[in-house]
């Protein structure tokens, strides 16, 4: 098969062709490495490319196919891994020069599980420093570029994992999401990104930012690929005491194109044209109609608290991350980019009673959010409430009004609620804005209801053309 | 709670062992006051009656009750 066609296939399609011996893992890995060679100097999706390691693993994978071994679900698939996950013998920087000589001796659990399922580590992907999501400075080369428009932002923090999928520089990828770091870049680049339920996926070996919100998850070309990856990486890990012991279903079994009986809620606060870009509102409204056409019942619903979640989540996740970086901030502040350093500083100074109130607000949001799932199987919103701007330098703030405009209540955040309460959420592409940049549809479920989220996402994806479009590179 | 002054924030930062330039102090003060005001402005009748627990046991099937 022609290598340019090969790299356009989904991970699921590739795995089937490898298992049936129509493609060899070496051929597949070489095709992706060629693609990286051709594009990464422009896109900067990778911090480290594992050329020799990947080819060696591909040769072993090929031998397993020839021997007739039982193959894992990800057998022979080149995997891009966010540089936040430790990888045995491979540099792991978390996007920071301060970790420029960190070569771990072991793999993070999710990496080990993906490898055990047959995935081939092809490289470590670009991310904002320490997964902060603040892309105002990049310590490994130029800013990562959006394959749909090289001048447009990709949001953060799993930038490289999303770009790698969108530009076909890996077959499947791993990202991490604290407040939207899987879903935002996936939406910005027109691919699928799933944030699982908090505790569904192990965080052992993943550099943390916010203990109560961080989770790893897949960024992929299709929803089916996300389900395939979840089958490999989800589940209890004795090395992460916060993982759930609930059994892991076969997520690919939940995929269906029939949505009869599925109750969908469309969140008014996140689709209000006063706060959300009109093109984004239109794309999400069209997606809701599409779901109705597939048999789902769609009803607009409201949770006024949603407008305030960003404001009360900030101190909670900020305090978590300020603790993680307390020693670095005191002793090596020059290691941090300015915006991150100032955010950590602000978070270090938040009064205790403010943090306590934010934590109570969190419990309230959680209670009210979960009530919605008594009426709905999934909730819909845009993933990003705005269309993407250009990559630009963030100017220092000199007035209170500037601080309020950039960080204050009402700035609009559709991705924060799911991590704030620990529930799953996924973005799937649902159109393009007038600049030709992707728009993402966010599908959210209750705790451990990934199957419903995946089912709705798969049905939508199967009935629309957006996921099959590729950027002209 | 009234906005904190530059001097108050500088004192807090010193106490926390953090060094700030004058430009950084200005930005940190404005951002900190924004964060505090937004949380202070949050109100809900149940706020004082709910325990600030971020999660419940993960094996529990959560029904929103």
Q: What pLDDT, on the 0 to 100 scale, is given for residue A410?
A: 67
What is this model's ipTM?
Answer: 0.92
Domains of chain A are 3-311+339-468 (3.90.1300.10)
d(CA A333, CA A326): 10
Share of chain A above pLDDT 90, in %: 92
Q: What is the pLDDT of residues A40-77, one digit of tens each?
A: 999 999 999 999 999 999 999 999 999 999 999 999 99
Q: How far is A358 from chain B (nearest CA, A)?
A: 6
| Residue A298 parent element (H or E) | strand A297-301
Residue among A111, A137, A135 at smallest CA distance from A123 = A111
In angstroms, the CA A181 to CA A165 distance is 15
A325–B contact, CB cutoff 8 A:
no
In the structure, what pLDDT confidence band is assigned to residue B62 with cuts at 50, 70 and 90? very low
Domain membership of residue B55 (yes or no) is: no
- A181 belongs to the catalytic site: yes
Which residue in the set B31, B48, B55 is minimally distant from A346, CB to CB? Answer: B31
Query: What share of chain A in percent tops pLDDT 70?
Result: 99
Give the pLDDT of residue B63.
43
How many residues belong to chain B?
65
Judge whether A364 and B46 are in contact, CB under 8 Å. yes
Does residue B34 belong to any structural domain of this protein? Answer: yes
Q: How far apart are CA A296 and CA B52, in angstroms?
A: 36
CB contact under 8 A, A446 and B16: no
Rg of chain A taking only CA atoms, in angstroms: 21
Compute the average pLDDT of residues A156-183.
97
The per-residue pLDDT for B56 is 57
pLDDT above 50: residue A432? yes
> Rounded distance, CA A26 to CA A451, Å?
33
The domain that contains B28 carries what CATH number? 1.10.20
Q: What pLDDT does A284 receive?
A: 98
Q: Which residues of A are less than 8 Å from B41 in CB distance?
A: 311, 409
Q: Helix, strand or coil for residue A445?
A: coil
CB A130 within 8 A of CB A83: no
* pLDDT number for residue A265: 98
Within 10 Å of residue B43's Cβ, how many Cβ atoms? 9
Range of the domain at B9: 1-38
Above 80 in pLDDT, residue B58? no
pLDDT band at B57 (very low <50, low <70, confident <90, very high): very low
Substitution target in A317, A376, A403, A419 with the highest count of B β-carbons within 10 Å is: A403
The string of DSSP letters for A159-198 reads HHHHHHHHTTS-SEEEEEESSSTTHHHHHHHT-EEEEPPT
Contact B58 A242 (CB under 8 A): yes
> B45 lies in a domain?
no
Interface probe for A, chosen from B23, B42, B46 (most Cβ of A below 10 Å), is B42
In chain B, the number of structural domains is 1
Closest CA to A78 of A96, A95, A61: A61
CB proximity A359 to B under 8 Å: yes
- Does pLDDT of A400 surpass 50? yes
Neighboring chain B residues of A212 at a CB cutoff of 8 Å: 54-55
Has residue B28 been placed in a domain?
yes
- Model pLDDT for residues B3-26, shown as the tens digit of each residue: 999 999 999 999 999 999 999 999
Average pLDDT, chain A: 95
- Residues from chain A that touch B40, judged by Cβ atoms under 8 A, are 354, 357
Dump pLDDT digits (tens) for A144-162: 999 999 999 999 899 999 9
The pLDDT of residue A272 is 93
Q: How high is the pLDDT of residue A266? A: 98
DSSP letter string over A52-90? HHHHHHHHHHHHHHHHTPPPPTTTT-EEEEETTB-BTTB
Q: Indicate whether A288 pLDDT > 60.
A: yes
To the nearest whole Å, the CA of B53 is away from the closest chain A CA by: 6
At A380, list the tokens: 């819909």
The answer to whether residue B30 is domain-embedded is yes
Q: Name the residue among A199, A403, A446 with its Cβ closest to that of B34.
A: A403
Question: Could you give phi then psi for residue A81, rounded to 5 degrees?
Answer: -120, 125
Higher pLDDT, residue A290 or A4: A290
Reported as a pLDDT band with limits 50, 70 and 90, residue B54 is low
Assigned token pair, A89: 């013998």
Per-residue confidence (pLDDT) for residue A42, from 0 to 100? 97
The bridge status of strand A438-444 relative to strand A425-432 is antiparallel
- Under the banding of pLDDT at 50, 70 and 90, the label for residue B59 is low
Is the model's pLDDT at A385 over the cut of 90? yes
Instruction: Give domain status of residue B29, yes or no.
Output: yes
Three-state DSSP class for A446?
Answer: coil
A148 Cβ contact partners less than 8 Å away, ≥ 6 residues apart: A166, A189, A190, A432, A436, A437, A438, A471
Residue, of A434 and B53, whose pLDDT is higher: A434
Q: Does the residue B18 lie in any domain? A: yes
pLDDT digits (tens, 9 = 90+) for A237-276: 999 999 999 999 999 999 999 999 999 999 999 999 999 9
- Whether the per-residue pLDDT at B64 is higher than 60: the answer is no
pLDDT single digits (tens) A94-111: 999 999 999 999 999 999
| Lookup: tokens for B11 | 């004192």
Read off the pLDDT band of A134 (50, 70, 90). confident
How do residues A14-31 score in pLDDT, each as one tens digit? 999 999 999 999 999 999
Asked if residue B22 is part of any domain, the answer here is yes
What integer pLDDT is reported at residue A139 of this predicted model? 87
* The pLDDT of residue A411: 65
- The band of B65, judged by pLDDT with boundaries at 50, 70 and 90, is very low
């Amino acid at each position: 098969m022609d290598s340019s066609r090969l790299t356009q296939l989904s991970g699921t399609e590739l795995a089937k062709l490898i298992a049936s011996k129509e493609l060899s893992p070496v051929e597949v890995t070489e095709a992706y490495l060629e693609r990286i060679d051709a594009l990464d100097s422009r896109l900067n999706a990778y911090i480290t490319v594992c050329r020799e390691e990947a080819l060696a693993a591909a040769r072993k994978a090929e031998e397993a196919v020839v021997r007739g071994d039982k193959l894992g679900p990800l057998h022979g698939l080149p995997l891009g891994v966010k540089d936040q996950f430790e990888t045995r013998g491979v540099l792991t920087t978390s996007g920071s020069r301060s970790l420029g000589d960190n070569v771990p001796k072991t793999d993070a659990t999710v990496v080990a599980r993906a490898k055990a399922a047959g995935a081939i580590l092809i490289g470590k992907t670009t991310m904002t420093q320490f997964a902060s999501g603040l892309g105002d400075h990049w310590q490994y080369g130029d800013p990562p570029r959006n394959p749909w428009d090289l001048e447009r932002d990709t949001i953060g923090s799993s930038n490289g994992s999303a770009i790698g999928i969108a530009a076909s520089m890996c077959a499947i990828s791993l990202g991490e999401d604290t407040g939207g770091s899987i879903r935002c870049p996936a939406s910005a680049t027109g691919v699928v990104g799933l944030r699982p339920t908090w505790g569904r996926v192990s965080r052992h070996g993943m550099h943390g930012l916010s203990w109560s919100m961080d989770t790893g998850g897949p960024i992929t070309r299709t929803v089916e690929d996300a389900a395939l990856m979840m089958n490999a990486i989800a589940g209890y890990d004795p090395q992460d005491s916060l993982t759930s012991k609930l059994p892991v279903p076969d997520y690919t079994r939940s995929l269906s194109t029939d949505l009869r009986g599925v109750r969908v809620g469309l969140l008014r606060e996140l689709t209000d044209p006063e706060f959300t870009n009109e093109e984004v509102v239109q794309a999400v409204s069209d997606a809701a109609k599409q779901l109705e056409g597939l048999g789902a019942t769609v009803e607009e619903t409201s949770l006024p608290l949603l407008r305030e979640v960003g404001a009360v989540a900030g101190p909670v996740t900020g305090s978590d991350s300020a603790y993680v970086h307390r020693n670095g901030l005191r002793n090596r502040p020059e290691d941090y980019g300015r915006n991150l350093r100032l955010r950590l500083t602000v978070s270090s100074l938040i009064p205790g009673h403010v943090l306590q109130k934010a934590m109570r607000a969190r419990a309230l949001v959680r209670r009210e959010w979960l009530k919605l799932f008594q009426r709905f199987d999934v909730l819909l919103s845009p993933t990003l409430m705005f269309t993407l701007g250009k990559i630009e330098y963030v100017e220092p703030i000199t007035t209170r009004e500037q601080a309020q405009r950039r960080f204050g209540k009402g700035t609009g955040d559709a991705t924060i609620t799911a991590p704030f309460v620990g529930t799953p959420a996924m973005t799937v592409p649902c159109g393009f804005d007038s600049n030709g940049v992707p728009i993402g549809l966010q599908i959210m479920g209750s705790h451990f209801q990934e199957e419903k989220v995946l089912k709705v996402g798969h049905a939508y994806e199967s009935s629309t053309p957006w996921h099959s479009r590729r950027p002209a590179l | 709670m009234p906005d904190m002054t530059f001097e108050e924030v500088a004192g807090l930062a010193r106490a926390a062992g953090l060094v700030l330039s004058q430009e950084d102090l200005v930005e940190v003060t404005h951002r900190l006051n924004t964060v505090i005001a937004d949380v202070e402005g949050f109100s809900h009748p149940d706020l004082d009656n709910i325990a600030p627990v971020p999660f419940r046991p993960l094996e529990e099937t959560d029904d929103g009750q």
